[in-house]
């Protein structure tokens, strides 16, 4: 059964179908970057609202937008399936909670029709523009925080009369039209894993606007809102196995379903220009200050993923749950969280941190998620500087321990050499691969070559305590391997 509006009434009884009239939904949210995470998280929460209080939620339907050429496949799937898709929550005992999500009602592909995207953003019904464009999508330096105005795509969008191709260009052109039409700006809501993601979004979008039109930048600064948020749900890349299991279990032919863990969390700052959905009615923590939740998630979950992935890969593991179920690496993660990450956190209202950390190990160990170690190792240059380096800096300033965090950086440097401990090649997936791999391969004669990259690490290489811990771990990784290195660190 091909998934579409026409076949919703044919779904099996153990698949939850949208119980609302999708034709009566209007678009209130335009979302840029419709991938697995957005569909497992924000779109799922809007779907919950539509099921529980359709009358108030019906004006908050989602229009998805693809900006990158690689988003064409998502457009094709969305068009073929009337923007419907299946979400399967996979429990560790092998059971699934499966539903069809109907909150995305439109999908626009900017490379084909940028004008349609701009007008959708500029339309008075659009009150929120949300983003999952990855940590690297905000075009700023992790060490200086400066917007990169020399980015070729950004420079092209800044040319007079150019047709926008970047998220910055599209959004700012739409904001310019709203300003000219006397409409208030929409809220820009970042849902990416960056500390202070709302602040970063404000900084980068206004920086682009200032380069294009200083008056527009002033108007945005004075009138727009950029709420911070913390988002959490482990959502691996959809594999052919998920598609096949969906067909065999339920008889559903879905070209791009989403499989995710059952756990989900969203803490959202209550700062919106033109209103918002009643997210608090469906489990979202709508708060005045997201910072404590954000630091908890980035420094415990996200940084722990990095602590796990490089040593796991070098030790021969390829699936995340296998690494997390190894007592040595589970102990390593807990020790990192307890001794180095937790002291850098703020008190988190309503959260038992000891239980949260224990739950993280359980989540990582879920064999049904089948998340790959390689996925966690990808795009490290966008992740380590934003998630782990702040932990190191905080502990260096306070006199706290840094041995485990420095070892994680060293394990990335060892991984970035592109050859594993068995001499097999590693496929490095990173926007800075051509810079980082040569640096990593110089480590034999210059052991700090990798961390001399100040774009990523700032002045860490000038701190003797960090360098001593880093070099000690790197030497051990080369001489004895990842497993023995971790054993020594825990001894």
Q: Where are the domains of the chain?
A: 5-287, 291-490
What local confidence, expressed as pLDDT, does residue 145 receive? 85
Rounded CA-CA distance 94/358 in Å is: 21
Is 108 strand, coil or helix?
strand
Q: Cite the beta strand spans of 319-449 per DSSP E.
A: none
Strands 96-101 and 85-90, how do they pair? antiparallel
What local confidence, expressed as pLDDT, does residue 471 receive? 98
Q: Spell out the CATH class of 291-490.
A: mainly alpha
What local confidence, expressed as pLDDT, does residue 264 receive? 98
The set of residues, in sequence order, having a beta carbon less than 8 Å from that of 397 and lying 6+ positions away, is: none
Which regions of the chain are under pLDDT 50?
A: none
> Furthest-apart CA pair in the chain: how many Å?
67
What local confidence, expressed as pLDDT, does residue 142 receive? 76
**Alpha carbon of 374 to those of 180, 306, 427: distances in Å?**
47, 11, 9
What local confidence, expressed as pLDDT, does residue 143 receive? 79
- Identify the CATH assignment for 5-287 out of 3.50.50.60, 3.30.200.20, 3.40.50.720, 1.10.3720.10: 3.40.50.720
Please classify residue 427 by burial: count the beta carbons closer than 10 Å to its beta carbon, then call 0-12 exposed, 13-18 middle and 19+ buried.
exposed
CB contact at 8 A, 35 and 116: no
Cα atoms in the Cβ-side hemisphere of radius 13 Å centred on 212? 30
What local confidence, expressed as pLDDT, does residue 434 receive? 97
What does the DSSP 8-state code read for residue 281?
A: G
Is 172 strand, coil or helix?
helix
The backbone torsions φ and ψ at residue 269, rounded to the nearest 5 degrees and listed phi first, read: -70, 135
Is 353 strand, coil or helix?
helix
Give 128-157 as a DSSP string. EEEE---GGGG-B-TTT--B-TT-HHHHHH
């Amino acid at each position: 059964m091909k998934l579409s509006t026409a076949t919703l009434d044919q779904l099996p009884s153990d698949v939850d179908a949208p119980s609302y009239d999708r034709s009566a939904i209007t678009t209130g949210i335009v979302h840029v970057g419709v991938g697995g995470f957005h569909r497992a998280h924000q779109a799922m929460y809007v779907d919950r609202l539509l099921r529980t209080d359709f009358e108030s939620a019906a004006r908050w339907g989602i229009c998805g937008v693809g900006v990158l050429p690689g988003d064409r496949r998502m457009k094709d799937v969305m068009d073929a399936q009337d923007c419907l898709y299946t979400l399967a929550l996979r429990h560790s005992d092998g059971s699934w909670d499966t539903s069809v999500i109907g909150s995305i009602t439109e999908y626009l592909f900017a490379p084909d029709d940028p004008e349609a995207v701009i007008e959708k953003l500029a339309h008075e019904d659009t009150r929120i523009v949300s983003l999952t464009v990855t940590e690297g999508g905000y075009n700023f330096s992790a060490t200086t925080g400066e917007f990169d105005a020399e980015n070729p795509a950004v420079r092209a969008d800044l040319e007079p009369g150019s047709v926008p191709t970047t998220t910055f260009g599209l959004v700012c052109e739409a904001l310019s039209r709203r300003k000219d039409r006397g409409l208030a700006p929409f809220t820009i809501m970042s849902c990416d894993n960056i500390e202070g993601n709302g602040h970063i979004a404000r900084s980068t979008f206004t920086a682009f606007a200032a380069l294009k039109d200083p008056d527009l930048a002033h108007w945005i600064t004075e009138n727009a809102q950029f709420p911070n948020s913390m988002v959490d749900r482990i959502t691996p890349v959809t594999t052919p196995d998920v598609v096949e299991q969906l067909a065999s279990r339920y008889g559903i032919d879905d070209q791009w379903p989403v499989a995710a863990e059952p756990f989900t969390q969203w803490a959202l700052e209550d700062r919106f220009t033109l209103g918002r959905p009643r997210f608090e009615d469906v489990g979202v923590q709508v708060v005045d200050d997201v910072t404590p939740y954000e630091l908890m998630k980035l420094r415990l979950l996200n940084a722990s993923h990095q602590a796990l992935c490089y040593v796991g890969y070098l030790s021969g593991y390829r699936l995340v749950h296998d690494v997390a179920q190894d007592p040595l690496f589970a102990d390593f993660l807990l020790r990192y969280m307890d001794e180095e990450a937790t002291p850098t956190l703020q008190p988190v209202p309503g959260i038992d941190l000891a239980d949260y950390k224990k739950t993280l190990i359980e989540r990582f160990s879920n064999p049904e998620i089948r998340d790959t170690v390689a996925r966690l190792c990808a795009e490290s240059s966008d992740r380590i500087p934003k998630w782990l380096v702040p932990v190191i800096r905080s502990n260096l300033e306070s006199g706290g321990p840094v041995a485990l965090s420095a070892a994680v950086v060293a394990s990335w440097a060892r991984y970035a050499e592109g050859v594993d401990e068995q001499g097999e090649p590693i496929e490095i997936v990173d926007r800075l691969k051509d810079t980082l791999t040569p640096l990593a391969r110089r480590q034999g004669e210059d052991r700090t070559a990798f961390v001399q990259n100040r774009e990523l690490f700032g002045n860490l290489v000038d701190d003797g305590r960090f360098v001593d811990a880093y070099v000690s771990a790197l030497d051990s990784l080369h001489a004895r391997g990842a497993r023995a290195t971790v054993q020594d660190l825990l001894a």
